[in-house]
Structures are given as structure tokens and as C-alpha cells.
Copies of this chain bind each other. A is one copy, B any other.
Amino acid sequence: MSEVKNILFIMADQLRADYLSCYGHPHLKTPNIDALAARGVRFTRAYVQAPVCGPSRMSFYTGRYVSSHGSTYNGVPLRIGEMTIGDHLRPLGMRVALVGKTHMTEDRKGMQRLGVTRDTIEGVFAAECGFEPYERDDGLWPDEVNPRDLAYNRYLREQGYNVDNPWHEFANAGRGADGKILSGWLMRNARLPAAVKEEHSETAYMTDRAMDFIAEAGDTPWCLHLSYIKPHWPYIAPAPYHDMYGPGDVLPANRTEAERENAHPVVAAFMEHEESQNFARDNVREAVIPAYMGLIRQLDDHLGRLFAFLDERGLTENTMIVFTSDHGDYLGDHWLGEKELFHEESVRIPLIVCDPDSRADGTRGSVNGRLVEAIDLAPTFIEAMGGEVPEHILEGRSLLGLTRGERREWRNAAVSECDYAFRRARQELDRTPGNARAWMLRTERWKYVEYDGFRPQLFDLENDPREHNDLGDDPDYQPIREEMHERLFDWMRSRRMRVTISDEEVEQRTDTHKKRGFLFGVW
């Protein structure tokens, strides 16, 4: 195989690491993703920098921790001036495009202050997180957000779904016996087939659009972020995927009574959220999880179609393909629904990197247990394209040392952050918008979580991989907690904030004041 010319950066939304057959799911079959893993490296300890869409993605795209880029939750604009993959890769001669979701909220006030508008190409990049928005679609379009002009809605209307909001009425709804619209927003409808035909569903459409882009891009090197909206809720799949799996395929929830009884205060408050209360019920899990699995299986089938398309065009051999997700989904584990907190079901993601370079031949099909992070992709892409990684900005590390079997120093902890200011739990716990935060430090053995205003949590992942026993207030583990606390402080003081000057420039300027005519301190 040859050097990397293109990058296909595929992201699923809310896909747990363990819901792929190559990651060990006993019932779900994902042969195309498995085949990708067989050609690449499969990372088993990959962590997001925040287990929520928006901040996690901003970390993927900026290569920076959430504390550094500041977009701590969905809807928090990414501050103007934060550089993203696009800003780093475009100068290397690539077209950097998006098909699907980013969850980017533009910093409108910042743009106004600087006189930056969408009338300029720079303004579009600033507003779209550095991507050329070939097809931007964040995938959640209730009538309240007025999605009439959404490209996907126009497409659906062209296919004959003649309503104002076909996403809402067809892609995201089934039908009752009487033809009544039964919304995918309600989990009770998860087992219904979506009213949209499979070939018109979002996953199919976005795959088509990715192929459109690739065909159109021709010989120009490209980085395409193909960012699927599924298997994120609403949990409803088109036929035949809606009943490909059934309650018998649902694994027992990973939870113990003790976890609920002795829950950490913040976790306990999350257990009170509606999604957690509902996922605590077996009938909810039995309705939702098969649909979730169906959506994953559908995604895998379309990836098969896409990979065949690359093969036909001879692109497989020069395209780096990455498959990952922005966070997991509790699905009732630990008495929780959704994500946001730091159990493995939420914070750990699938990550497969297929590096076409021949130097990676020795690692194909291998499994790598290093602690890797979402922020590692940005530097990986830059290095793959022959660029210099600006380490005064990027906080991740290129994975190419791992895909190419080189000896490079590696980190000994992964960090993830949570800002639950926007959630009811924050109000229940009487926290202010500014102090509802938590930080996870995950080492080879330990997972330590520190909270604003509450005791920490500690799990021994070696002896308790399912995270049932919180050692956060066990006196025997005080020394471990202290060590983790210090390591977290070390991490925090190492954030890259001096982003406007490189270390090389600092080195070149050190002690040069006299050369520049500034003779201070001279007698």
C-alpha cells in the first residue's frame, strides 16, 4: 500500500464501543466494520474528552481538551479563533469537507465583533468548525426548529414524502394500525419500522452524499468527515433493521442494587433523570436496544457499500480510514440512560484506524490497548499528510507511531470532562452554572473522578472492570486518590493556552533581546 493521500474520518453518534462484533458483542454482527479492523488497528481503550456530543466533537475537531477549547456542552459556541482539523489540513493542500453532523454552534457574537460573516469563505469555515459544509445535517429536526429547507427534507420530498417536515413524519416516525403517526421521539415506538424506506433513510442518504463528494473531489486530496447521525436517539430503524434483533438479543444490564443504594450524589441525581428512570425498566431496554442494534447493523451495511465504492475507484490503497464514535450510551447500565458521566459504557468509544501506508503493514488486524483519546486524531491526520504537528496548540498525540509500530513515548492517563450545568441534576444538587463540573483521570488500573463540591469516585478497573464498587470514600484508598488528584492537577496545569506562538519560535527568541536592540540591564 502507498502513502496516505486522503482521509475518510467516519463517526457514528452515540455508538458504544461494545456494540460491534469486533469489540465482542455476542449477537450484533458488523462484518464491514470488523473487516476494517482486520485491515487496521483496533483500539480497546479509546476515550472521548467529554461524553456528550458537542464538547466531544469539538475536542475531536480541535485536537484539544474541553477545558482548553471551552465549548463544554451542546449549544455552547466554539469560541472564534479556535483552530480545527480544517485549519490545520487545508494548508497541506487538502479539501476538508463534512457530510453529516458536527454539533457546531457558531460564535455569533465573536464573529460580529470581528466583522466576520458567512459571506466570506473564512466566515463559513469559522461558523462550520473548519469544515466545508458539503452536507451539514445535525440530524435532530423536530418541528420546533423549523427544518423545512434542510437538504435531507428536500430530498425526501423529491422522493414523494410530501409533507413540511418529512424527517419528522417519516424518517423519525412509524405508523399505527390506523395509519396514525407514532413518533420515534417516544421510546415506546422503538420497535416499529420507520415510515421512510430504508434506501431513503438518513444513514443511506449520508452514505450517498459521501460518495457524491468523493466522486466530485477527483484527484484533489481530501479529508471527508462522514458523520452519521445514528445510532443516536430517536431510536427507530427502517425495515428490515427494525426487527433484525429482538429482546432475546438484549444483554443483561450492567448494574447492581448496591450501585443504586450507595450512589455518589452526582450519579444519584443523574439516576433521577427521566432517561435513567425509563432505562431502569426492562421493557424499555427490550424495546430500545433491538432498535439501537438494528441501526448499527444498518450503518455497517452502508459502510460495506462505501468501502466497495472506494475499492472500485482504487482509493482504498491511499485513503486512511478511521471509524469511531463521539461517546457511548448507558442503555440502562449503572441505572443510567444517555451518557455524560464516566462509566466505560459512556466514555469509551470504538476506534479503528486503517492506515494504508506500508509501514503499517505489521500492525494490520492488531488490537491495541494503549490509552488513546479523541484528540489524537487531529495530530494523526496532520502527520499522515506530512505536516508538522503544532504542539503548542494540539494536545493529542499522533497515532501513527502506534499504527506503524514505532517506539514513541505514550501517555499514562486519559482525561475526560463533564459540565452538567445544563442538566436538571445541577439544579437538584444546588450547584451554580459555573461549578457543576467533573474530571475523569483513567490510568492503566484506576479510574478517578473528581467533582466540584462532592467527594471523588475511584474504580479499580483491574479488579472491578464492570465498575460496581466505587472506592471514592474508602479510607484504604486515600493514597491512591491523593496520587490521582495530583496527577489531575499536573494535567490541568499543562493545558495549551499559549497558542499563538510555537515552541520553536520561543526557542529562537530566547535571550535575543540584545540582538533586537533592547539592551536592558547593561552597564
Contact = CB atoms under 8 A, between A and B. Distances in A.
Nearest to A507: B433
Determine how many copies of this chain the complex contains: 2
A76 B498 contact: yes
Indicate the size class of the contact surface on chain A.
Answer: 35 or more
Interface stretch (A195-203, A377-385, A421-429): A421-429
Nearest to A424: B511
A421 to B, nearest CB: 5
A411 interface: no
A193 to B, nearest CB: 19
Interface string A467-510: 00000000000000000000001001111111111010011011
A365 interface: no
Given A338-B521, A424-B511, A500 B113 contact: no
Contact of A114 (B80, B279, B281, B432): B80
Given A81-B80, A489-B489, A114 B114 contact: yes
Contact of A422 (B145, B391, B510, B522): B510
Interface string A115-126: 110001111011
A342 B388 CA distance: 36
A18 interface: no
Nearest to A284: B523
Contacts of A142: 516-519
A84 to B, nearest CB: 10
Interface in A158-192: 183, 185-188
Nearest to A515: B144
A275 interface: yes
7 contacts: A70-B499, A72-B498, A77-B500, A79-B499, A107-B500, A185-B522, A433-B510
Q: Ordered nearest first, which 3 A-B pairs have the shortest CB separation?
A: A275-B521, A142-B517, A144-B517
